[in-house]
Structure 1
């Protein structure tokens, strides 16, 4: 029996790394629909990128609407968040909960102002909520031409690269003409 107790204790400690740390913070800024600025109990500011959702970018249709929704839901409120990972920009990717148990990413998707970021999520319930918002033509689904933020960013990068190449080619031609 004593061995079983030790084994259970070792298993408990061994799996404790899988438990996500819960952090309490106050939302002090909204950068866009899926990025917020929080202040923790030690007055440290942290930028959080919401997990499992991708909202329209600032220049995209409904980008301002997504930012406003996020602001209406959490600005000035105490939230709980769980860090899932970090992104290439150093932001913490987090699951954010407000008003006791409301999951912010889920609320954004329900209202039709964000895509389920299925590439980085296995929460199929979010896909169901997105499908429902689409069928009800809520938010960004009200128009016929919606482009996902990841496709929009890709097109913007490609256009920027083409512009840079054209500028470089133009300079080379001018130098040859001299």
Structure 2
């Protein structure tokens, strides 16, 4: 019985994570976290998959938020939930615009995010980050950019 229940839960969660969903972006919390409203008027917080943007108080944190806002605020987006994080947010791949741009890639391309290699093995994102670093775009113009995960650790110790 326990194995059957586990199998049902696994199949159910897989079906949720592979669906293409859509919603209107009603809030930009920061560069890599947005809130969408679906057709049933339910709001969901989405954390962008595969990347990590600077924190709000970090250099380029506000610019990353502004970039995300300029791309998708009040737009209807498509997204695929890939996981849930420890804060209960859906981790999602967000696509937008007529040409179906991948928001995480656009943030990395424009130097507004790190490719989060701990959670992603995307060759495209790795190459986009290398290119942005070489061109010193966005956060890569800083002589010593600090990954948000490291920055949060240092802030906690203070």
Q: TM-score, normalised by structure 1?
A: 0.78
The alpha-carbon deviation at position 19 of structure 1 amounts to: 7.2
For residue 120 of structure 1, give the secondary structure of its aligned residue in structure 2.
Answer: coil
Q: Give the number of the structure with larger relative contact order, counting CA–CA contacts within 8 Å between residues 6 or more apart.
A: 2
Measure the CA separation in 1 of the matches of 2:17 and 2:28. 28
How many Å separate the matches in 1 of 2:114 and 2:42? 30
In the alignment, structure 1 segments of 5+ residues that lack a partner are 1-12, 160-178
Residue 97 of structure 1 corresponds to 95
1:65 to 63, 66, 75: 63
Q: Deviations over 1:54-78 (max 9, x none)?
A: 0000110000000000000000100
Count of aligned residue pairs for this structure pair: 145
Which residue in 1 is equivalent to 2:83?
A: 85
Give the 3 Å change call, closer, same or farther, for CA 128–17 of structure 1 in structure 2: same
Matched, 1:50 2:83: no
How far apart, in 2, do the equivalents of 1:81 and 1:52 lie?
Answer: 13
Matches within 5 A, 1:1-178: 17=15, 20-100=18-98, 101-159=100-158
Residue 166 of structure 1 corresponds to which residue in structure 2? Answer: none
Higher-Rg structure is 1
The DSSP-based 3-state class of the residue aligned with 1:28 is strand
Instruction: Output one character per residue of 1:8-33: Cα deviation in whole Å (capped at 9) or x when no partner.
Output: xxxxx9xx859710101000000000
Superposition RMSD in Å: 1.6
Once the two structures are superposed, residues 64-115 of structure 1 have per-residue CA deviations (whole angstroms, 9 ceiling, x without a partner) of: 0000000000001000010000111000000000014100000000000100
Q: Could you say which structure has the higher helix fraction?
A: 1
TM-score w.r.t. the length of structure 2 is 0.88
Cα deviation, residue 125, structure 1: 1.1
Partners of 1:88 and 1:19 in 2: how far apart? 16
Q: Work out the CA distance in 1 between the residues paired with 2:133 and 2:30.
A: 21
